[in-house]
Structure 1
């Protein structure tokens, strides 16, 4: 029982760490919209270096606005709580987020409510259901650009999630397979620190369902090493995990 408790505590610690890890890896986008849970949008935006927090009411939006200090906020006029335009006015008084008003295609009543949001401080309009590419286009032109958060660097290695590219000593290498790209990003986020096997499994395959063993991770590491060349190494720290080292 004690061992089970320790394993559960360890797993909870890993999940909490990964939650902070994902949030710290990208810019913050707050979506205040009662229509959906945002899972698909969050997954799509993660590849662009953006962490999505989705809430269903403006009152929850105020809480998350204070917690995450988002670069941008998407607000649906239909969100319950305080009126959406009042919510926009409040957050504009306590920061300079880029505010996007949400509208449904063909919804004339909803379109009429977008005007007050624009007057309250919204700068753009996005149509629901949200298209990740359209949102990204809006966000990259915001005064507080999000694009820089999709880029990670350590030593001679630079990864750009928006362009799905990796450069070593300034030269772009051949596109990495998805798992190796995510492996490199996980290592870059922690560099020069160590990422454990459990953390890599959760980062690459999620926390639910069947996950591969250490041999599969080692296989991906071996392939990644060969693609990066000699300028940087993926070191195995026995009993702990992996880390990036640069010459």
Structure 2
């Protein structure tokens, strides 16, 4: 198996994580959205993200950028307010983050296409980490494609694509229900129960036919294996 999966950490007090997470999932980018720089430090240590978006309004943003730049080489994007939410001294706040180590600027509300363009041109491009291979199954998040034995199968609905990607990332290990909820719906709390996951698993099994075995491990989660 070739491991992959791009991680984007967003540190922003605004409440918009779910929509962005779902939109970026189509590019194979997993978004973790936190509201404080303290939570950002915790997630940064856990994730080793490819890129980090830091809102100028986040308390301690400049110090946060300085710290993470000392402990790695993440691509840092300064998030600044739009016309309705101009933020703290606009250009001055962005300038401070750039001096601390940010390399690019994104206007809020963040658009998936703009963020994708920024992070694909970063030194550690997410496009280089978007391909997964498990047995005869090859998933390319950048091209939004799944091939089996070299033949492309029909495009999967977004949730099933993300479900397959999460299972392939851990194959042949188990992905817990909570991990699947976060992968498919983000970490903002608005996530459905196990029956909805089971429904998507059933549909994915049907699309893959006998190519892979997706097993329910009672009390734990799901695993994907190939023959």
Shorter-chain TM-score bucket reads 0.7 to 0.9
TM-score of the aligned structures, taking structure 2 as reference length: 0.75
Structure 1 residue runs of 5 or longer lacking an equivalent are: 1-23, 226-231
Q: Displacement, 1:245?
A: 1.8
SS in 1 for 2:27: coil
Distance in structure 2 (CA, Å) of the matches to 1:190 and 1:224? 18
Does residue 117 (structure 1) correspond to residue 101 (structure 2)? The answer is no
Distance in structure 2 (CA, Å) of the matches to 1:40 and 1:160? 22
Match in the other structure for 2:51: 72
What's the CA shift string for 1:114-167, capped at 9, x where partnerless?
112112211100000000111111111111111233321112221112322112
Q: Which of the two has higher C-alpha Rg?
A: 1
More helix by share: 1
Distance in structure 1 (CA, Å) of the matches to 2:42 and 2:78? 19
- Report which structure shows greater RCO (CA 8 Å, sep ≥6): 2
Distance in structure 2 (CA, Å) of the matches to 1:90 and 1:236? 41
Q: Of 24, 32, 46, which aligns to 1:53?
A: 32
Match in the other structure for 1:175: 155
Matched length: 214
* More displaced 10-residue stretch of structure 1: 207-216 or 38-47: 207-216
Compared CA separation, residues 143 and 175, structure 1 to 2 (3 A): same
SS in 2 for 1:211: helix
Does residue 208 (structure 1) correspond to residue 192 (structure 2)? The answer is yes
TM-score of the aligned structures, taking structure 1 as reference length: 0.70
Does residue 27 (structure 1) correspond to residue 10 (structure 2)? The answer is no
Match in the other structure for 2:63: 86
Q: Displacement, 1:219?
A: 5.8
SS in 1 for 2:165: helix
Alignment of 1:2-17 (within 5 A): none
RMSD across aligned C-alpha pairs, in angstroms?
3.5
Compared CA separation, residues 94 and 168, structure 1 to 2 (3 A): same
